[in-house]
Structure 1
Amino acid sequence: MMGAIPFTLYSRVWCHLCEDMLAALQALEEPGRPFAITVLDVDADPALEARFNELVPVLYGDPDGPELCHYFLDEAAVRAYVASFSTAAA
């Protein structure tokens, strides 16, 4: 089994779009290819709130890498990220 595929979701506690994106991301997990999803509350960190403001939810694979999507899950972008992560790990 491969290691967990990392994701970082910038979110807000009261945000229904954030809940929807997390659920949609979790639905893409496959047996043997788990996701390690870190959910960060932008309201808990002034720097994150200033950076993302009303853009949340925002999904990154690598938090230092490019944004995968915001507001709604981009399934194609997530699948491409997962595929490239798997290829790089092979």
Structure 2
Amino acid sequence: MKQATRLTLISRRYCHLCQDMEVALAGLAEELAFEIEVLDVDADAALEQRYDELVPVLLHNGHELCHYFLEVSKVRDYLSKIG
């Protein structure tokens, strides 16, 4: 049985762009059958150093898919290539 693809959202609590991307990802995750892991950039010094002003950032295995806004077509294309 194939394990579900897991995308990682680097986020922060008081960021409206982060909240918007998380909501948009939830609907897309249901449609495309992937899981979302949300990591708080402020809870990890290494993440904060790397992504501080770029959040929200969507990653798959360290590969940046998009930041600031969800690029649905880019995520769809990427998932179809790895799927």
Partner in structure 1 of residue 24 of structure 2: 24
Q: Which stretches of structure 1, 4 residues or longer, exceed 3 Å deviation after superposition?
A: none
* 1:1-90 equivalence runs, <5 A: 2-29=2-29, 30=31, 33-63=32-62, 65=63, 67-86=64-83
TM-score (normalised: structure 2)? 0.87
* Distance in 1 separating the partners of 2:2 and 2:28: 16
More strand by share: 2
* Distance in 1 separating the partners of 2:24 and 2:2: 21
1:14 counterpart SS class: coil
- Aligned-pair identity in percent equals 55
Amino acid at match of 2:21: M
Unpaired runs of at least 5, structure 2: none
* Distance in 2 separating the partners of 1:45 and 1:75: 27
**How far is 1:41 from its partner?**
0.4
Unpaired runs of at least 5, structure 1: none
User: How many equivalent pairs are there?
Assistant: 82
TM-score (normalised: structure 1)? 0.81
Task: Report the aligned-residue RMSD.
Answer: 1.5
* Distance in 2 separating the partners of 1:4 and 1:23: 19
More helix by share: 2
